[in-house]
Structures are given as structure tokens and as C-alpha cells.
A = this chain, B = another copy of it.
Amino acid sequence: METRAEVTKDANRRLRVAIAGFGTVGSAVARILIEQGAASSFELAYILNRRIAKKRVDWMPGSVRWTDDIDEVLDSDVDVFVELMGGLDPAGTWVRRALASGKSVVTANKALIAAEGVALSELACRHRQHLAYGASVAGGVPVLSGLQEGLAGDQLVRVSGILNGTCNYILTRMEDAGLSFADALLEAQRAGFAEADPSADVDGYDARAKITILSRVALGADVDLETVLCRSIRPITAVDLRYAVELGCTIRQISHAEVKDNELHIAVQPMLVERALPHARVVGAQNIVVSTGRYGGETTFSGNGAGGNPTAVAVVSDLVALARLGTTSSESMSPALKKMVASSQFVMPHYTRYLVRDRPGILAAISQVLATYAINVDAVLQLPGHSREALPFAITLEPSSQQALDAAMAEIGKLHFLAQPPLCLPILRKRA
């Protein structure tokens, strides 16, 4: 039998590739392309980086040109510009210039795609080039292609997931080892899972960029990044994880987006997650995405959401897709997009936790406020072993509107026996 690889090789010229940004992901992409050898559809032509003298590696073939000059790359005959620098600038400028100079672009840059992806796709389209960004969400897990192509025949209505491995690592350690947030963060930083400035991860901005991209690709909903609700995991304490376990749950940073009555409900926030849900079983730095379709029901994708090699797999997979598409115009790849306003008015059950200076009548006072806003109490939990001066207890609430809940929490926050503002987390339960 004739092997079909041979047919392929003659038919297609190898695509010339420039990699901009030779960090962990950039070098992993280069390695994969080089290790593919003669069977590859690609020829690595340029590595673009600042201070290239410090970056050079001995395993790079002599045919690859190292440069710190973007103009040299843009003026060259490379077919694909692989942007792995991250950040909005100069990455955005360079991506626009690459598209305008007739090069397709593959990028792993979630910040850029979340902020300017729609405009960049249109620019690619005008110049009859492709813009691919499969690596921008969930690293090596082929979520974007899975939603956009594998589930193209469905009508997706909801997408949720764990999109930030750092938060997941921290919350997993807080639960397993009873660590405080600060200690778990320190451990994550020492293990290389968190940055010196952890804000992008723990305050949700990283996941917000990803859910913004996901809602575009899965739901066709184009929403302004800045308007997406984003809550930090910093207020979570070890006590909350203990209470969560008592409630048959764990705590995870959950990103979700759902189209409901022509509104886009979208948020990134820590939630109590019922153990029966696949989200609860994602440990360490893994990622998961669960989509819900009108016809196909729930589909789950999970795997390594970060790291040089998994992210590089997503980049190279985008390159392979470009090679397959060839000259197919990029219009036909674009789904219909609808500009939507972000709403965070979910109706969900909630976990609330209060840290109080103990005295009689506390429960009565809190219950009174909740009743005023017609919020029903589901259960009250108080584990023993705490000081009367800083006593944590939890109240779970039946589904209520966000508006009523916000008002109730603001009012409860003013009660003089509270040692700190109450914590309020939605509870994600398995749907019937």
C-alpha cells in the first residue's frame, strides 16, 4: 500500500515559520518542529528575540536565523509569524504588521486575543491570511478546536471550566494540607506554579481573558473583557475548604459563561463545587472545560493547561491546521459573532461564611437580614475548635438573585459583631 504521507509531501511546499519570543513555549515549539525532521510541513526560518546572544542554543540548526529585528522578519518570505511574546505591546503591533504584510499568525497570547481578537480576525480576513490562537486557552487541551470544529454541528449554550492552574494548585493544597492562602501561595511560588506578582492568577484576570475568548468561540458572544465579573480567591481560608468538604464540595476558581434570554451571564470566581462534578476532580495545575450543547449535551475536555510542551503542542497543531487550510479564505472559518453585554445576575445557591466575635443573638440578627431580602436559609454549619473572638461559621442559602444577595451581604457586613466582611460564594451543583 502506498503511504499517503508521500502524496502529501510533494503536493505542498513547506511553510516557512518565524517564532517571536524564545521563552519556555517558544523553545518547545522550535524543538517539536525540528524533531519532526523531514516529515514536517514546516521549515523554521527565524527566531526573533531581544538579546539573542543570551538566547542561542546549540541544538538549533544553522539554517535558522536569529534576529532581534522585527523588520527583518516582516520583510522576509516567512509564511507564518508565531507570536509567543505575550502582553499587548509590542505583540499587538507586530501581529497587525505581520498580517498586513501577508503572513498568517499563530499566537498563544490570551491577553491580546481577549482584548483585540475580533478586530485581529477581521484584519486577517481582509488580508486573506489566517489568525489562529488555539494555545491561548487551556494550553495543550484542544478546547478551541473542539468547540469550534468538533462541536460545530451543535448549538452551544453554556461553557464552564477551570482555566487557571495556579489557582487550582493553591486551592488543592489548601484543602489537602490545610494551608492558609498565604502559605499555599508561597508554596506555589517556590514550586514555580505562581509568579512573584500573583495578581493575574489569583485575582482572576488570567482566567477572565480565557473565558472571554471561550464565550466568543463557543457561544458566539463578543463581550468587553473589562466588564466581565472577576472575583479573587484571596479571601478563601482553610476553614472554608473544611466547610466545603462537610457540604460534599470543594472550592475551585470557576470560569463560566452562559447565554440566557439574550443575556451573557459570565464570571470568574471561586465557587463551591459539588464533588460529583468533573470540575471537582481537577487537581494541581490541570485545566478542564465542560461545554453544554442544545443537541449533544455535556462534553468535557481536560488535560495540561500550561507548561512549555503542552502549550507548544497547541501552537504546532495550529500550524498544522494552517498548512491543511492552505489558501482557503479565512472568512469561512469565522462563526457569527454577536456583541453582548456581560451580566453577573446569576440565580444560584450560595455558601456564606461569617467571622464573628461570639455573643448571643448573632444567628438571629443575620437570619433577620436574610429574611428581609426573602433569601431562604438552607443549612447552618459551625465546626468546633475556634476562638470565641474569631469564630467562623457558615450558612448555605437557597437560590436567590444576585441583587438581593449583594444587598443582604452589604447590610450584614455592617453588623458590629462581624470581625471581617462576610464571604459569599456561589455553589455549583450537578444539574438534574
Contact = CB atoms under 8 A, between A and B. Distances in A.
Contacts of A326: 328, 332
Interface of A: 1, 3-5, 7-8, 11-12, 28, 32, 39, 118, 121-122, 125, 134, 140-143, 145-146, 149-154, 222, 278, 281, 293, 295-304, 309-310, 312-321, 323-326, 328-329, 331-339
A334 B153 contact: no
A7 B335 CA distance: 10
Name, among A122, A141, A323, A329, the residue most crowded by chain B CB atoms within 10 Å (CB to CB).
A141
Nearest to A153: B316
6 contacts: A12-B332, A142-B299, A151-B317, A293-B313, A295-B312, A296-B304
A32 B151 CA distance: 13
Given A303-B298, A335-B4, A319 B153 contact: yes
Contacts of A141: 299
Given A325-B328, A332-B11, A332-B326, A295 B317 contact: no
Given A281-B281, A323-B332, 17 more contacts: A7-B125, A7-B334, A8-B336, A11-B332, A32-B153, A134-B150, A141-B299, A146-B301, A150-B317, A153-B315, A153-B316, A153-B319, A154-B316, A296-B309, A297-B310, A300-B301, A324-B333
B142 A320 contact: no
Nearest to A325: B328
Given A146-B146, A331-B11, A336 B4 contact: yes
Contact of A303 (B11, B125, B296): B296
A225 to B, nearest CB: 16
B329 A39 contact: no
Contacts of A312: 153, 295
Given A295-B32, A303-B298, A335-B5, A329 B11 contact: yes
B1 A339 contact: yes
A198 to B, nearest CB: 24
Nearest to A145: B150
A296 B324 contact: no
Given A4-B334, A297-B303, A303-B298, A313 B122 contact: no
Contacts of A334: 4-5, 7-8
A314 B153 contact: yes
A173 to B, nearest CB: 18
A116 B85 CA distance: 46
A319 B332 CA distance: 13
Given A12-B332, A332-B11, A334-B8, A296 B313 contact: yes
Contacts of A325: 325, 328
Nearest to A312: B295
Contacts of A125: 4, 7
Contacts of A338: 3
A326 B325 CA distance: 10
Nearest to A6: B336
A160 to B, nearest CB: 14
Contacts of A118: 1
Contact of A299 (B121, B298, B302, B319): B302
A320 to B, nearest CB: 4
Contacts of A149: 142, 145, 149, 317, 320-321, 324
Name, among A149, A150, A334, the residue most crowded by chain B CB atoms within 10 Å (CB to CB).
A150
A395 to B, nearest CB: 31
The 10 closest A-B pairs by CB, nearest first: A142-B150, A153-B316, A5-B336, A299-B303, A153-B317, A140-B296, A152-B320, A296-B313, A4-B334, A145-B150
Contacts of A3: 336-338
A337 to B, nearest CB: 6
Contacts of A304: 296-299
Contacts of A331: 4, 7-8, 11
A320 B146 contact: no
